[in-house]
Amino acid sequence: MGRFRLRTLAMAAGSFVGITALTVVVSAGGAAERRIQATGRHHFGESSILVMAGGAPLMSGPRGEAARLTLDDAEALAREAPGIESWDPQQVLPGAPVKRGDATATARVLGASERAPLVWSRGVTQGVFFDAAAVAQAARVAVIGETVARQLFGNEDPLDAEILVRNVPFRVIGVLEPFGTDIHGMDRDAEIVVPISTAMRRLLNVDTIVAIKLLVRDPSRVDEAAGEVRRILRERHGLAEGQKSDFSMVTAILVKKMVARVQRVLIVFLPLVAGISLLAGGAASAALMLASVSGRVSENGLRRAVGARAKDIGLQFLLETTLTTLAGGLAGLAVGGGLALYVIRRFHLEGGLSPLAVALGLGLSLAVGLLAGVLPARRGAALAPAAALR
């Protein structure tokens, strides 16, 4: 091999690049996909309906001021739509200054009902969540996320301490279950949850809410319930037939579609890119190996002349390409694995080098080597020794 070092290196580089890409995509892509699915399930179980103020579709920026969604709307929906198990109204203060003594932080403040832990599947790890009485009295109590707790309290116990949210004093009664970063890259532990009434009256001074999440008892009837929700809300908002809704709705089905769209990128597109680069690497290997056959005609002729059988020559070529691409593949696995781990850590994903990536990487570089070697092996073996030595 030493005699054809550059060619060998180039050949190994082909499978190296391909396998690196593949490893990153399969490992990091897999982790991202798991995250998306978990997030989807977490926030959006099969039985959820999310109603948001404003006609804009999901996740497309701020909604119009004209949009009006009220607590009365929420109560009416819970009462009149069929099979509603629970519901939670939401109000949001996107970035509020929070203080405790000299320590400051910026947090997203959410107003919610006492049913939020059930409806959003997120409870507390310390203390308690606020109860119905707190909501009824618009009590100044807060449940804070871990990031907020760390920024304001360090290692101290936050429970029962007083914090200022937009200069309004609140008593900390609980710490939210950690969540980490969501698919939009937002730190969901930099949040504070307060009673919806407190948020509306004391922090925002509004009589509207931004969203309602409804849980349907029977997941198979979500569509039916969603239809009723739309009808009731349009009626309450006095919308005529053909007029655009001043609210938007998300159901599990819609979320599934979105997740599927992201997954298509992760599962189909990225591996396609990796596959193409691997193919290119394989083609390059084959071309280089063929060049190597013509460059080694006399060597092969000589080997034949001293007793090598045609299949010995073929096997030698096959072995050389396979070992070369395999070496490139192993290097690709190492580098790709490192990159994948970096990406996973950088984006707060879970998981590591996927066993699938390892299997695929080894298998494919082996296959590329074999395929790239077949033609050269045939060529090399077919020549009569005399012709090869001329």
Of residues 8 and 90, the one with the C-beta less far from other proteins:
8
Of residues 97 and 295, the one with the C-beta less far from other proteins:
295
Instruction: Say if residues 282 and 14 touch (Cβ distance below 8 Å).
Output: yes
Of residues 131 and 312, the one with the C-beta less far from other proteins:
312
Instruction: Say if residues 67 and 209 touch (Cβ distance below 8 Å).
Output: no
- Residue count at the site for other proteins (CB under 8 A)? 21
Considering only residues 77, 109, 199, 308, which one is a binding residue for other proteins as defined by CB under 8 A? 308
Site for other proteins contains 123 (CB under 8 A): no
Site for other proteins contains 389 (CB under 8 A): yes
Backbone angle region of 370, left / alpha / beta, with phi > 0 → left and psi within -120 to 50 → alpha: alpha
Of residues 310 and 362, the one with the C-beta less far from other proteins:
310
Site for other proteins contains 379 (CB under 8 A): no
Site for other proteins contains 9 (CB under 8 A): no
Rounded Cα distance between 252 and 248, Å, is 14
Considering only residues 82, 298, 342, 359, which one is a binding residue for other proteins as defined by CB under 8 A? 298
Site for other proteins contains 2 (CB under 8 A): yes
Site for other proteins contains 303 (CB under 8 A): yes
Sign of CA dihedral 239, 245, 246, 251: positive
Site for other proteins contains 307 (CB under 8 A): yes
Number of Cβ within 10 Å of residue 219's Cβ equals 12
Q: Are strands 162-165 and 103-112 parallel, antiparallel or unpaired?
A: unpaired
Of residues 38 and 305, the one with the C-beta less far from other proteins:
305
Please give the full DSSP string across 268-312, using - where no structure is assigned.
IIHHHHHHHHHHHHHHHHHHHHHHHHHHTHHHHHHHHHTT--HHH
Site for other proteins contains 185 (CB under 8 A): no
- Give residue 290's Cα distance to chain centre: 43
Site for other proteins contains 385 (CB under 8 A): yes
Site for other proteins contains 309 (CB under 8 A): yes
Which stretch, 59-67, 191-199, 303-311, 327-335, contacts other proteins (CB under 8 A)? 303-311
Instruction: Say if residues 192 and 172 touch (Cβ distance below 8 Å).
Output: no
SS3 165: strand
Of residues 133 and 305, the one with the C-beta less far from other proteins:
305
Site for other proteins contains 294 (CB under 8 A): no
The two tokens of residue 140 are 């100044």
Interface residues with other proteins (CB under 8 A) are 2-3, 298-299, 301-312, 384-387, 389
